[in-house]
């Protein structure tokens, strides 16, 4: 198993949509926040296609989902949220997206970046993984290595914005089928559930979701000491 950075001080989550941080690893973010870490969420889209309501518009939905994300992040203990506002469902690994991610890495200088595993084409429930989830993971990986730490990549960021290269210590990939780090989040599951409740536009049956989350105990834990974990593939840089 890879040795994880112990109590990282600066953490960045790079995800595709509002609600992704809480759904994928909200308990881990809550744990880190409780330990005093400075956490930034960078969200590539604002989820402008995430509704079946007949009279909903993309602009209205963006406003709703960004506010839901701010409220959910506040429950977790995250104050710094950046919305890049690319179109939902249309993410591609472009130089523009990679530059936007590199810009945020050089601005915030995280020790650890959390993003999606781009190799996950289907999840543990045997359902297809969203195109944007795979794409943001691929874009983040390419931004992290080698671009963020190499001044030859996107030199205009240093020349025009004064952003020097920054090398991240570790990448944590969530929604992975090949984990090598397990985080005990038993004390933070309820915080994650409270945060998920803020995503009212996205969760039709919160009671059912809570039941599934509480039932998902670590199968390796002793029966008399149930625990909850979140799994990651951790890569060293």
Handedness of CA 173, 174, 180, 181 (dihedral sign): positive
> Both tokens of residue 90?
């249309």
Model confidence at 1: pLDDT above 70 = no
**pLDDT, tens digit, for every residue of 102-154?**
999 999 999 999 999 999 999 777 889 999 999 999 999 999 999 999 999 99
Question: Which pLDDT score is estimated for 228?
Answer: 96
Sheet holding 229-236, edge to edge: 80-86, 38-45, 10-15, 112-116, 170-174, 229-236, 181-184
Question: Which pLDDT score is estimated for 104?
Answer: 98
Question: Which pLDDT score is estimated for 4?
Answer: 65
**Alpha-carbon dihedral 103, 104, 109, 113, rounded to 10 degrees:** -120
Tell me how far the alpha carbon of residue 117 is from its chain's centroid: 11
pLDDT class of 2 with cuts at 50, 70, 90: low
> Both tokens of residue 206?
């919160």
How far is residue 86's CA from residue 63's CA, in Å, rounded to a whole number?
A: 14
Question: Which pLDDT score is estimated for 12?
Answer: 98
Looking at domain 10-236, which of 2.40.30.10, 3.40.440.10, 3.40.50.970, 3.40.50.10320 is its CATH number? 3.40.50.10320
Read off the pTM.
Answer: 0.95
- Do residues 174 and 25 touch, judged by C-beta distance below 8 A? yes
How far is residue 198's CA from residue 191's CA, in Å, rounded to a whole number?
A: 11
**pLDDT, tens digit, for every residue of 83-102?**
999 999 999 999 999 999 99
Question: Which pLDDT score is estimated for 124?
Answer: 74
- Do residues 112 and 166 touch, judged by C-beta distance below 8 A? no
Model confidence at 80: pLDDT above 90 = yes
How far is residue 191's CA from residue 174's CA, in Å, rounded to a whole number?
A: 19
Q: What is the mean pLDDT of residues 232-237?
A: 96
- Do residues 199 and 22 touch, judged by C-beta distance below 8 A? yes
Model confidence at 7: pLDDT above 80 = no
Model confidence at 165: pLDDT above 70 = yes
Question: Which pLDDT score is estimated for 3?
Answer: 65
- Do residues 14 and 40 touch, judged by C-beta distance below 8 A? no
> Both tokens of residue 39?
């956490």
Residue-averaged pLDDT of the chain: 95
> Both tokens of residue 231?
């799994």
How far is residue 42's CA from residue 57's CA, in Å, rounded to a whole number?
A: 23
Question: Which pLDDT score is estimated for 127?
Answer: 86
Question: Which pLDDT score is estimated for 106?
Answer: 98
């Amino acid at each position: 198993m890879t040795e994880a950075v112990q109590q990282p001080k600066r953490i960045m989550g790079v995800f595709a949509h509002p609600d992704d941080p809480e759904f994928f690893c909200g308990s881990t973010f809550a744990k880190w926040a409780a330990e005093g870490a400075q956490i930034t969420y960078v969200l590539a889209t604002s989820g402008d296609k995430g509704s079946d309501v007949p009279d909903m518009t993309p602009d209205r939905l963006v406003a709703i989902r960004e506010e839901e994300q701010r409220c959910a992040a506040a429950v977790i203990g995250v104050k710094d949220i950046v919305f890049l506002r690319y179109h939902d469902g249309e993410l591609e690994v472009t130089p523009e997206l990679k530059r936007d991610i590199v810009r945020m890495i050089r601005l915030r200088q995280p020790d650890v970046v959390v993003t999606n595993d781009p190799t996950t084409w289907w999840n543990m429930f045997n359902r297809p993984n969203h195109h944007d989830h795979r794409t943001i993971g691929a874009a983040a990986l390419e931004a992290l290595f080698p671009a963020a730490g190499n001044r030859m990549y996107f030199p205009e960021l240093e020349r025009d914005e004064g952003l020097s290269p920054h090398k991240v210590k570790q990448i944590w990939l969530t929604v992975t089928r090949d984990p090598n780090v397990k985080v005990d989040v038993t004390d933070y599951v309820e915080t994650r559930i409270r945060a998920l409740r803020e995503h009212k536009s996205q969760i039709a049956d919160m009671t059912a979701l809570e039941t599934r989350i509480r039932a998902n105990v670590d199968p390796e834990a002793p029966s008399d000491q149930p625990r909850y974990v979140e799994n990651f593939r951790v890569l060293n840089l």
